[in-house]
């Protein structure tokens, strides 16, 4: 039998393992239950696929989505590994045929939907074949505290308990807080598991939050910057998807759409257009993306703020899976908070839960929405904010996010904070942020007069400050627990236990505000150094012969069409870039390129060598 290094090179084209992979593989091969938490694009699937090839029996991979299974199985078949999936996309006869072939030993790896685990046919099959490992993909779905809880995942342990012999159990996910990690170990009943978190940081991703007055124009600017490249635009609703998609089509961009209101056939067709680069820009709701392993997505733009950090990081993480630089841009608007709050309050997704359980989940969702809103408001490093949310702590400066590339002044806001807190205290926290701002500004609008806030002793006290700055200060006070926002249909601003320290003058408070003047030579230099760091991340794909790269891309598209698979399953953009840099002319040279394995070389290597030899 070949060892793990030979399998890694032969089937996947890599000469060495990435961080954490080998340790996780060795743990599984030793017969130990294993939990791996690795960021998107870190190579989780290899951690169970290589052991699956080395263990004697069959490996079952529990996976939540048809698209996820289809993508993984296509990738394995392209690499020369026999694999199959069992889900509702198969006809009954196809399903029985797949079970028969699996029983005959045709497949080492079988992907199965959790809903199939307790069906009579599948249970009968599982009792007859040697199952060496059950691997749970997207394992966070087992936790009610996860962002994507699926009650069907609770069937997994019951299924394992029914097997004649308990297999090794492995579980993998990209995003999990400590609570979710503990849940995965407990609910999946992992026995003395090795738990490895390789870190959540994706250094190749640039993060940015913008608060544009005109969201569509801001979106259009970014899409034009990335013209000719693949990207995903996430919208909060079907209506927004339709509007954005229609407008971009009018602008002449190759765009398609995806949301739950489309027919199954149209969703499948549009998804394939995106994956095959027929229409490389996808406008979608959060119904799109899980299981999409498209490696050449150069940007993900959130047209609206998602409802939690987990969802945001998972969706943003669909950019730059090839390790090359990519941008993750969030276009924030205050209405996003209200819309997400409405979705949370009207959540009917988990009809298997009792009303009490559902209310607990809603409260958790409200808390996560608050943390997501804080992300959009912070002036600190965006990457550090995300990593701290998942329990990692850095130096609060990454040099590759919009906040780190913005010059800030630290200013004393104690006086303004005292006026704000005093105004809220005097009206006993009965109103929301907008009315408080209007009162402090000295507005004479109808609502101020109707609520008699023009009689509040703090009326007009901050008339010299612009509305955005007052809101910034209020958001900063919320972020630092000097103010609290209630949840519900109308969000009210309340004082907290910390508010008194400002009101009685015993505490001062400062905040970072973006500079509004021309920066000094020194600060320009620092900003230039930061941008230099970002530009280095952007450089690797620009340092190659673009004509040669496009020739290789064209060839890849032709071969993909013949094989009926997405182009990135032939070779990723990163592999094509390496071909351009290394410029191999022999088989031995081609096998030195990362991502070129023996099986793929036999299928496609000579075609690519012919292009390289002629340049």
Using pLDDT thresholds of 50, 70 and 90, give the confidence band for residue 480.
Answer: confident
List pLDDT tens digits, range 387-438: 988 888 777 888 899 999 888 888 899 999 999 999 999 999 999 999 999 9
Residues 6+ apart with CB under 8 A from 374: 385, 478, 479
Residue 574 has a pLDDT of 86
- Cα 369 vs. chain centroid, distance in angstroms? 16
pLDDT (mean) for 568-572: 88
Indicate whether 535 pLDDT > 60. no
Which range, of 167-181, 229-243, 531-545, averages the lowest pLDDT? 531-545
Indicate whether 532 pLDDT > 60. no
Residues 6+ apart with CB under 8 A from 499: 421, 425, 482, 483
Half-sphere exposure of 206 (CA within 13 A, CB side): 22
Backbone angles phi, psi at 592, to 5 degrees: -80, -15
Indicate whether 309 pLDDT > 90. yes
Which of 19-28, 35-44, 137-146, 341-350 holds the top average pLDDT? 19-28
Which one, of 172, 145, 162, 160, lies nearest residue 63 by Cα? Answer: 172
pLDDT (mean) for 500-509: 93
List pLDDT tens digits, range 47-82: 999 999 999 999 999 988 777 788 889 889 888 999
Residue 359 has a pLDDT of 82
pLDDT (mean) for 301-329: 92
- Residue 99: both structure tokens together: 């079970």
List pLDDT tens digits, range 573-601: 889 989 998 999 999 999 999 889 998 99
pLDDT (mean) for 550-572: 88
pLDDT, greater one: 41 or 615: 615
Using pLDDT thresholds of 50, 70 and 90, give the confidence band for residue 362.
Answer: confident
Indicate whether 533 pLDDT > 50. no
pLDDT (mean) for 309-321: 91
Backbone angles phi, psi at 111, to 5 degrees: -90, 135
Residue 540 has a pLDDT of 52
Are 35 and 195 a contacting pair, CB within 8 Å?
yes
Residue 349 has a pLDDT of 63
**What is the average pLDDT score of the chain?**
88
| Entry field: residues in the chain | 615
pLDDT (mean) for 478-498: 85
Residue 539 has a pLDDT of 43
> How much of the chain exceeds pLDDT 90, in percent?
55
Indicate whether 350 pLDDT > 70. no
List pLDDT tens digits, range 137-185: 989 889 877 667 788 898 999 999 999 999 999 999 987 788 888 999 9
Residue 211 has a pLDDT of 92
- Pairing mode, strands 297-302 and 230-234: parallel
pLDDT (mean) for 87-114: 90
Indicate whether 283 pLDDT > 50. yes
Per-residue CA distances from 448 to 10, 454, 484 (Å): 72, 6, 22
Using pLDDT thresholds of 50, 70 and 90, give the confidence band for residue 516.
Answer: low
Q: What share of the chain is helix, strand, coil (3-state, %, to 5)?
A: 50, 15, 40
* Buried-state track 50-82, b at ≥16 Cβ within 10 A, e below 16: bbbbbbeebbbbbbbbbbbbbbbbbbbbbbebe
Q: How far apart are CA 136 and CA 138, in angstroms?
A: 7
Residue 152 has a pLDDT of 87
> How much of the chain exceeds pLDDT 70, in percent?
93
∠ CA 79-85-89 to the nearest 5 degrees?
A: 125
Residue 352 has a pLDDT of 63
Using pLDDT thresholds of 50, 70 and 90, give the confidence band for residue 536.
Answer: very low
Indicate whether 528 pLDDT > 70. no
**Torsion angle defined by CA atoms of residues 307, 311, 313 and 319, in that order, rounded to the nearest 10 degrees:** -120
Are 350 and 145 a contacting pair, CB within 8 Å?
no
Using pLDDT thresholds of 50, 70 and 90, give the confidence band for residue 25.
Answer: very high
Residue 41 has a pLDDT of 74
């Amino acid at each position: 039998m070949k060892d793990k290094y030979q399998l890694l090179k032969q089937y996947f084209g890599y000469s060495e393992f990435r961080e954490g992979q080998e340790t996780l593989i060795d743990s599984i091969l030793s017969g130990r239950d294993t939990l791996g938490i690795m960021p998107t694009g870190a190579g989780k699937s290899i951690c169970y696929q290589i052991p699956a090839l080395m263990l004697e029996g069959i490996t079952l991979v529990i996976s939540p989505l048809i698209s996820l299974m289809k993508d993984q199985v296509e990738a394995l078949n392209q690499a020369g590994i026999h694999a199959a999936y069992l889900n509702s996309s198969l006809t009954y006869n196809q399903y029985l045929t797949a079970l028969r072939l699996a029983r005959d030993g045709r497949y080492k790896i079988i992907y199965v939907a959790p809903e199939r685990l307790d069906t009579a046919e599948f249970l009968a099959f599982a009792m007859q074949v040697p199952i060496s490992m059950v691997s749970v993909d997207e394992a966070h779905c087992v936790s009610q505290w996860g962002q994507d809880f699926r009650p069907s995942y609770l069937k997994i342990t019951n299924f394992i308990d029914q097997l004649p012999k308990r297999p090794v159990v492995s579980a993998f996910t990209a995003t999990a807080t400590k609570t979710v990690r503990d849940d995965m170990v407990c609910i999946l009943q992992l026995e003395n598991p090795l738990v490895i978190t390789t870190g959540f940081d994706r250094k190749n991703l640039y993060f940015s939050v913008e608060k544009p007055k005109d969201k569509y124009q801001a979106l259009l600017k970014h899409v034009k910057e990335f013209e000719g490249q693949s990207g995903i635009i996430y919208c909060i609703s079907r209506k927004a998807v339709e509007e954005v998609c229609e407008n971009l089509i009018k602008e002449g961009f190759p765009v398609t759409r995806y949301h739950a209101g489309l027919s199954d056939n149209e969703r499948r067709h549009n998804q394939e257009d995106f994956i095959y680069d027929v229409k490389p820009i996808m406008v979608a709701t959060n119904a799109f993306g899980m299981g999409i392993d498209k490696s050449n997505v150069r940007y993900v733009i959130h047209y609206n703020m998602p409802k939690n950090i987990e969802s945001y990081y998972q969706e943003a993480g669909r950019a730059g899976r090839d390790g090359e630089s990519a941008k993750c841009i969030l276009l924030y608007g205050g209405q996003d908070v209200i819309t997400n709050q409405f979705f949370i309050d009207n959540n009917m997704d988990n009809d298997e839960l009792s009303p009490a359980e559902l209310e607990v989940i809603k409260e958790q969702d409200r808390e996560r929405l608050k943390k997501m809103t804080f992300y959009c408001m912070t002036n600190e490093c965006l990457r550090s904010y995300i990593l701290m949310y998942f329990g990692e702590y850095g130096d609060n400066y990454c040099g590759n996010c919009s906040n780190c590339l913005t010059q800030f002044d630290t200013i004393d806001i104690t006086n303004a904070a005292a006026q704000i807190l005093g105004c809220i205290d005097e009206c006993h926290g009965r109103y929301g942020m907008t009315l408080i701002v209007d009162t402090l500004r000295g507005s004479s609008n109808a609502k101020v007069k109707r609520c008699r806030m023009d009689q509040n002793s703090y009326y007009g006290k901050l008339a010299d400050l612009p509305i955005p700055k007052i809101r910034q200060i209020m958001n900063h006070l919320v972020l630092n627990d000097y103010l609290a926002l209630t949840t519900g249909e109308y969000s009210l601003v309340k004082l907290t236990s910390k508010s008194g320290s400002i009101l009685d003058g015993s505490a001062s408070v400062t905040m970072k505000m973006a500079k509004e003047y021309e920066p000094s030579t020194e600060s320009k230099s620092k900003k230039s150094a930061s941008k230099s760091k970002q530009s280095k991340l952007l450089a690797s794909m620009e340092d190659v012969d673009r004509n040669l790269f496009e020739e290789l891309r064209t060839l890849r598209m032709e071969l993909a069409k013949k094989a009926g698979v997405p182009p990135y399953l032939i070779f990723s953009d990163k592999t094509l870039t390496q071909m351009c840099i290394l410029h191999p002319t022999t088989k031995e040279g081609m096998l030195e390129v990362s991502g070129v394995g023996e099986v793929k070389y036999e299928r496609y290597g000579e075609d690519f060598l012919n292009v390289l030899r002629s340049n």
